[in-house]
Amino acid sequence: MRFPPSVRLIKDVDTLLEACDLVKRYGPVNALDGFSLRVAAGEIVGLVGHNGAGKTTFVEIVSSLIRPDSGTVTIDGKSPSAARGQVGVTPQHLGLYPSITVREHLQLFGRLAGLRRTALTAAIDDLAVALRLTEIMGRKTGVLSGGQQRRTQAATALIHRPPLLLLDEPTAGADLETRQAMLDVVKQRAGEGAAVVYTTHYLPELTELQASIAVIRNGKIIARGNYDELVDGLPGEVRIILEDEEEIRVSTTNPTATLIDLLGRTERAISAVEVRNASLDDLYRSLAVNDAS
C-alpha cells in the first residue's frame, strides 16, 4: 500500500524505543550494567525493580539528561537528544513552579513543545478534563495537594501528545482519584499508538494497564514478558479457615488442585476458603528473596 508523501506512519509493529547494552556508573556503583530494552509503538512496558535498581537512570538517559558510559539508545531511529520533542517525561520527584498556576505550567510546556494558539488551547482543555484538573487550572501549584500536583506534572509531559512516554513512578503517593485518572490517560495514549515506559512499585497498576513487564535488577533486565509468562511457576496460596478459627495456609504452584486435595482430606467443618493464584507481588517477593540470598 502506498501513502502520499506527507503521511508519516508510526506502525504498531515499529520499535519506537530501543536500548542496547547500556552501562552507566556513578563512581563504584553500576547504575546500569548491560541494560537492554525494546518498546514498540502502542506498547506499555512496566519497568519494575527495587529502589536503586536503575529505573530512574534509564529514564534519565532516554530523556537525554545524562549520557551512558557505553551502549546505545534510539527513539524512532534517532538519538535521545535529537528526539527530545518526541518524549514526554514525568520524573519521579515533583518538579513544579510553586508560584505559577496549573494553566501557566501547561502553557509553558506546550509552547516549549511547539504548540501554538488554538492547538495549545485545545490540548490544555483536553488534558484538563482527562486528568481532572478543570477546577484547579487557575490555582498556583504551591497550594495544591500532592495528588493535584502529580496530575499537573503528568499533564505537562502529555501536553504535546508525544509518541514516547516515560512515566517514572507517576502515581507515587497519589490518591485513588489521581491514580485512576493517570491510568485512564496512559491507556488512552497507548491505544492511540504511544509507546509507554511505566516504572512503579504498585504492581496492580501494571495488571490494569495490561502492560508487558520488564524486571530490572542491579542495572540489568532479568525478566521480560507478559503477566502470565512471568508468574508461571511461581507459587500461589490456598487458605482454609476451620470452624474453630484454626487456619491452614499452603503455598502451591497449583492452588486449585491443592484445594481439592485439602478438602478431600479435611474432616473438620470449614468456615471459609481462599484461593490466590501467583501475582506480580509474588514475583517481586521472589526477587527480593534472591537478592537477600
Partner 1 sequence: MLLDTTAAAPARRTTAFDAFGDSVYRISALVRHNILIRLRDPGQMISYVVMPMVLMIVLKPLYVKAVASGTTQVVTGLLVMFSVFAIAIAGSTIMVERHWQTWDRLRASRAPGFELLAGKIIPIFVVMVAQQSILLVYGCAVIGLPVPHNIGLVAVSILVWAFSLLSIGAALATIARSLGELGVISDVGALTISSLGGALVPLSVWPVWAQQAAHASPGYWALRMLQAAIRGDGQGMVLPAVILLALGLVAGVFAVRRLTRGWGRTRLL
List contacts with partner 1 (CB under 8 A). Answer: 5-6, 8, 10, 26, 60, 63-66, 76, 82-87, 89, 91, 93-100, 104, 107-109, 111-116, 156, 160-163, 189, 192-194
- At its nearest, how many Å lie between partner 1 and the CB of residue 280? 28
Angle at 87 between CA 81 and CA 88, to 5 degrees: 135
154 neighbors 120 (Cβ within 8 angstroms) = no
Q: What is the largest CA-CA distance in the chain?
A: 75
Under 8 Å between Cβ of 53 and 216: yes
Other C-beta atoms closer than 10 Å to the C-beta of 15 total 16
Q: Minimum CB separation from partner 1 for residue 20, in Å?
A: 21
What are residue 242's phi and psi, to 5 degrees? -85, 170
In whole angstroms, how close is the CB of 264 to partner 1 at the nearest point? 56
Nearer to partner 1, 187 or 276 (CB): 187
C-alpha cell at 63: 530523556
Half-sphere exposure of 170 (CA within 13 A, CB side): 32
Cβ closest to partner 1, residue 6 vs residue 293: 6
Could you tell me which residues come within 8 angstroms of residue 28 by beta carbon, excluding any fewer than 6 positions away? none
Nearer to partner 1, 194 or 206 (CB): 194
Q: Which residues, listed in sequence order, are joined to residue 224 by a DSSP beta bridge? A: 214
16 vs 213, which CB is nearer to partner 1?
Answer: 16
Q: Which is nearer to partner 1, 137 or 250 (by Cβ)?
A: 137
Q: How far is the CB of 10 from partner 1 (least distance, A)?
A: 7
User: How far, in Å, CA of 198 to CA of 166, rounded?
Assistant: 6
Minimum CB distance to partner 1, residue 161 (Å)? 5
Residue 114 or 146 having the CB closest to partner 1: 114
Exposure of 235 in the CB half-sphere (CA atoms within 13 A): 9
Residue closer to partner 1 (CB basis): 29 or 263:
29
State the Cα–Cα distance between residues 153 and 167, nearest whole angstrom.
10
Burial class of residue 121, CB neighbours in 10 A (0-12, 13-18, 19+): middle
Strand-pairing partners, residue 25, are: 30
CB atoms within 10 A of CB 181: 22
Cβ 52 to partner 1 shortest distance, Å: 12
Shortest distance, position 110 Cβ to partner 1, whole Å: 9
Q: Which is nearer to partner 1, 56 or 178 (CB)?
A: 56
State the residue for C-alpha cell 476451620: 242
Q: How far is the CB of 130 from partner 1 (least distance, A)?
A: 15
